[in-house]
Chains A and B, each alone.
Chain A
Amino acid sequence: MESAVIAAVCGEVRGDFKSGRTRSLDWRLAQLKSIVDLIKKHEEDITEAVAVDMGKPSYECFASEIFPVKSACQLAIKNLKNWTAAVNVPPLLATLPASASMKPEPFGVVLIISAWNFPFLLSLDPMVGAIAAGNAVVLKPSEMAPATSALIARLLPLYLDKSAIRVVEGGVPETTALLQQKWDKIFYTGSPRVGRIVMAEAAKNLTPVTLELGGKSPVIVDSSSDLKVATRRIAVGKWGNNNGQACVSPDYVLVDSSCSTKFIEAMKDTLKSFYGENPRESMDISRVVNINHFNRLVGLLDDPNIASKIAHGGEKDETKLYIAPTLLEDVPLDSKVMSEEIFGPILPIISVRSIDEAIDIVNSRPKPLALYLFTKKDKVKEKVIAETSAGGMVVNDCCLHFLTTTLPFGGVGESGMGSYHGKFSFDAFSHHKAILTRPFWMDIMARYPPYSAHKKTFIRCLLEADFVGVILCLLGLKG
């Protein structure tokens, strides 16, 4: 799409927002219900598109793409009245009589830039928040998931307000042209590298941003863990969630050296039980998204320092964009596979001598989007929570916080800024306007110049909540 066309689209969408249409609760509810309807009628189409783009099994597509969007809509529909209501708060005593409240309002026109790995989810999930908050929306789905992008571009105008909610397909030139427009909010899901570009563009117009980025999400496993359950949950979080290509994928494991061998054995057993002897034939695992990523991942494995550390897997098939679930044992901490976000089916397992060592390794790296801890010991839980930082954490499982709508989902530091899900989505796209209301009666003359000593004393008493002093001043017995 040409940039002139993009500018025109944005102008039209702004006109739609200015008309006030998107602010009515009825409009918002209608859109949300339409999304639920769209999903109901086109679940198969969506599942197929995602399968074409990612080879994603239908089980995963339902659990991680379709269901979360549907449930986000239902939650928003249920709570919209509540969320949009003004919240009354107590005013400062010295300003009485007064009433104070915070009223959420839409930012206006928002840009959502989605990602390829959960192409339906990461397009619609933020959109639910934007619509619930009353904004007009332009969505830019990822061009690296073209079947899903085309499906979204086709379906959305059929079900939603096609003037106030637009889809712009395209790649880098279209995204660049979009970023040059003026937005009231930008929501970006993707890499830290592009996150910087998005924020820099946003700075030109002082546009607030939510950046859902990535990083290396570590898993810490201590010796008290039930290894069977731990490996199953790590495996499903890794290979069972878009084959390691998720922002919250367990990236690498730090396991207590006393049980590292058992851990690796347990993991091998788990992988066999999930995908059989030959995972290439399993229908239950996504493929690597494209040849670029395939080559990148193979490159990580081909490093001579790494090749010798392959404890399991390592097979590949370029024709199928297949890389076997691969375990690496004790690779150097400064190797590429331990420095870059893997985003693929490779799992380094590093044995550590203590929790402190694990914590040091985690803290020497950028703050991750997620941190996973497996332990039965409460003290270890407290220690890790207090001494490390991450967007979010799960104890004794992986990824599930993503589906927990009462928890804000987002990063910190390199892994992002802002959050969403549940009411946090609504808040991400709202400005909470503070409103103080006072009546005309009761005007305190001590507020006004000329500032006599008496007035100074009175106001000091008032502000210090020295009510005895206030009364004495009023009676003329003080100041």
Chain B
Amino acid sequence: MAAVPGKIPASQRAVAFGKLGLLSRASCCRSRAARFRPGYLSLSPRRGLAAATCTASVAMDPLQTDRLVAELRDEFRSGRTRPMDWRAAQLRAMLRMIDEREGEIIEALDRDIGKPAYETYVAELSTIANSCTNALKHLRSWMAPEKVSTSMISFPSSGEIVPEPLGVALVISAWNFPFLLSLDPVIGAICAGNAVVLKPSELAPATAALLAKLVPLYLDKKAIRVVEGGVPETTALLDQQWDKIFYTGSTRVGKIVMAAAAKNLTPVVLELGGKSPVLVDSNVDVKVTARRIALGKWGNNNAQACISPDYILADESVVPKLITAIKECLLEFYGDDPSRSKDIARVVNGSHFERLTGLLDEDGVKDKIVFGGARDSNKLFIAPTVILDPPADSAVMTEEIFGPLLPVIPVDSMESAMSFVNTRPKPLALYLFTRDKALEKKVVSETSAGGMVVNDTVLHFVTETMPFGGVGHSGMGAYHGKFSFDAFSHRKAVLYRGFWADMASRYPPYTIAKQNFVRNFLQGNYLEAIKALLQNLRS
């Protein structure tokens, strides 16, 4: 991977981050070739600011992770994290943190991904604030045991489901929404009464460092810890025994996390990714469709989001109008020269830049570009690009794009679109644009995805009354709202009985009369059961 010209030479790159003085080995987040290859460096020049993310690294000492987990387990065992007051106090502190440090958070995200302040506010800060507020409002009811009815089988009895914390949780965050994807799961862990270790992504180093600084200042620094670092640190952490692991990231690493969790029978939530398709019917408002797709794509971390609309399958009759409308949107949003717009995030780093330009430059693809295509490696800028009908087996149509390229594939029918989607791994999100209610019903029942939005994109993410998560290769488990609380809880079944009303017919020796009784009693034939009972008493 070529060094970016004009930047600080490798020999002078400085160690920068880490509260514990941990250094991170850079790694290319999603590139298959480069993931976990040691010594792979990445730069993230942001608005003229060059910040090296690593040099030589020091792996976290296994003893340190042992000690860390032991300390957290003690904290959890002390019972400190269980009272509602403690949990509510953490949530309030988090709200204070967001409020007081908004400027610093916006700046860190700007440095890490060039994220516009508007996006940081809407997608990261406001979402976390709402999570906290919502949780504070409902925590008492979430924590309360849920009474259930019990049947005649155990009469007299009562039952309830008692939520309890799993214990010590590990949250591994991602680089693209580095603040949100760190704290949102942590909120769930806290609400459920766990102690938690957060491992922010090293590919967003400014945010990682900021979290490492702020979390101990505002939250309980013994029971809620931040561990910075890269692959070696993550590996060391995964070797420990956790009561829950919550991972956000790629499918490939998801498998590694689950395999590590299997050693200790640790339950996991894996929030992964995939190619989230957009199906566009002919019966749509083309202008609004184009705007909402464009916003969901380029207006959400410049398409570097797990739920970014990845590619479009549009009814061929609407394709020309759709493309025109998208072009018009892009001009409206970002002007003639998007490289000068302040309202769009940058590609995160050099290796992703290379990966994306590679997708564009592939034979069979580059001549299908109908809009955009411009790039500037100095600014890590790739223009919002629309590609019309690239080959189905091209890299841009087989790999998760995670960048500002939008393939548009004309299809002869929505059935074809659904078949196309169904021959591929289940995506994290599926978007459908149509006014046709029957088609809507069909797509809902004949395709599968983590979640779906009809006539818009990405907004299901902020709908806390719905579970947010993947299925198949896009993940397992879900969170947001009460689902976050549940993700970090064990729902313990409790059945209560008294000592009175002890039925002799339950017990050996099993006479015919007792067998008759039990058969009839269990099946609700109470008259017969009573007869058998009387028979038993007589004998």
Closest B residue to A415 by beta carbon equals B265
| A438 in contact with B454 (CB, 8 Å) | yes
- The yes or no answer to B153 lying at the interface (CB within 8 A) is yes
Chain B positions 499-539 with a Cβ under 8 Å from a chain A Cβ:
499, 502, 506-510, 514-515, 518-519, 522-523
**In the complex where A385-B162, A406-B159 touch, is A463 in contact with B126 (Cβ < 8 A)?**
yes
Chain A residues closer than 8 Å to B289, beta-carbon distance: 440
Cα(A82)–Cα(B454), bound, Å:
24
Which of A58-66, A118-126, A315-323, A331-339 is the interface stretch? A58-66
Chain B residues closer than 8 Å to A284, beta-carbon distance: 508-510
- The yes or no answer to B142 lying at the interface (CB within 8 A) is no
**In the complex where A102-B466, A105-B448, A396-B497 touch, is A436 in contact with B453 (Cβ < 8 A)?**
yes
Chain A residues closer than 8 Å to B490, beta-carbon distance: 389, 412
Interface residues on A, range: 35 or more
| B499 in contact with A436 (CB, 8 Å) | no
Chain A residues closer than 8 Å to B514, beta-carbon distance: 59
Chain B residues closer than 8 Å to A456, beta-carbon distance: 117-118, 121
- The yes or no answer to A473 lying at the interface (CB within 8 A) is no
Chain A positions 388-440 with a Cβ under 8 Å from a chain B Cβ:
389-397, 400-401, 403-409, 412-414, 416-419, 431-440
Cα(A455)–Cα(B299), bound, Å:
14
| A94 in contact with B164 (CB, 8 Å) | no
Chain A positions 123-159 with a Cβ under 8 Å from a chain B Cβ:
none
Chain B positions 439-457 with a Cβ under 8 Å from a chain A Cβ:
440, 444-446, 448-456
| B522 in contact with A67 (CB, 8 Å) | yes
Cα(A438)–Cα(B462), bound, Å:
14
Chain A residues closer than 8 Å to B251, beta-carbon distance: 206
- The yes or no answer to A166 lying at the interface (CB within 8 A) is no
Q: Number of B residues whose C-beta is below 8 Å from A? A: 104
Tell me whether chain B's interface is mostly helix, strand or loop, or mixed: mixed
Chain B residues closer than 8 Å to A395, beta-carbon distance: 494-497
**In the complex where A103-B444, A431-B471, A459-B118 touch, is A400 in contact with B452 (Cβ < 8 A)?**
no
Interface residue from B121, B472, B478, B495 paired with A400 (Cβ < 8 Å): B495
Chain A positions 426-467 with a Cβ under 8 Å from a chain B Cβ:
431-440, 443, 447-451, 455-456, 459-460, 463-464
| B332 in contact with A451 (CB, 8 Å) | no
| B258 in contact with A417 (CB, 8 Å) | no
Residues 108-122 of B, flagged 1 when their CB comes within 8 A of A and 0 if not, give 000000001110011
| B515 in contact with A62 (CB, 8 Å) | yes
Interface residue from A389, A438, A449 paired with B164 (Cβ < 8 Å): A389
- The yes or no answer to B68 lying at the interface (CB within 8 A) is no
Chain B residues closer than 8 Å to A290, beta-carbon distance: none
Chain A residues closer than 8 Å to B117, beta-carbon distance: 451, 456
- The yes or no answer to A304 lying at the interface (CB within 8 A) is no
| A396 in contact with B496 (CB, 8 Å) | yes
Which of B143-151, B200-208, B230-238, B367-375 is the interface stretch? B143-151
| B492 in contact with A107 (CB, 8 Å) | no
Cα(A333)–Cα(B486), bound, Å:
35
Tell me whether chain A's interface is mostly helix, strand or loop, or mixed: mixed
* Max chain B Cβ within 10 angstroms of own Cβ: one of A204, A206, A236: A206
Which of A84-92, A306-314, A344-352 is the interface stretch? A84-92
**Shortest distance between the CB of B340 and any CB in chain A (Å):** 11
Cα(A213)–Cα(B477), bound, Å:
20
- The yes or no answer to A282 lying at the interface (CB within 8 A) is yes
| A448 in contact with B465 (CB, 8 Å) | no
Interface residue from B255, B284, B448, B510 paired with A59 (Cβ < 8 Å): B510
Which of A194-202, A260-268, A293-301 is the interface stretch? A194-202
Interface residue from B150, B262, B450, B462 paired with A94 (Cβ < 8 Å): B462
Chain B residues closer than 8 Å to A92, beta-carbon distance: 130, 459, 462-465
Cα(A367)–Cα(B518), bound, Å:
32
Closest A residue to B292 by beta carbon equals A443
| 29 A-B pairs whose Cβ atoms sit less than 8 Å apart in the complex | A59-B508, A63-B518, A67-B523, A92-B462, A102-B467, A200-B263, A203-B262, A204-B255, A206-B254, A206-B272, A236-B507, A376-B499, A392-B494, A393-B492, A395-B494, A396-B497, A396-B499, A406-B148, A419-B493, A434-B450, A434-B452, A435-B460, A436-B456, A440-B284, A440-B285, A448-B299, A449-B299, A449-B332, A449-B344
Q: Knowing that A206-B255, A397-B497, A436-B460 touch, tell me 5 more A-B residue pairs with CB under 8 angstroms.
A: A98-B463, A211-B265, A392-B493, A431-B448, A437-B440
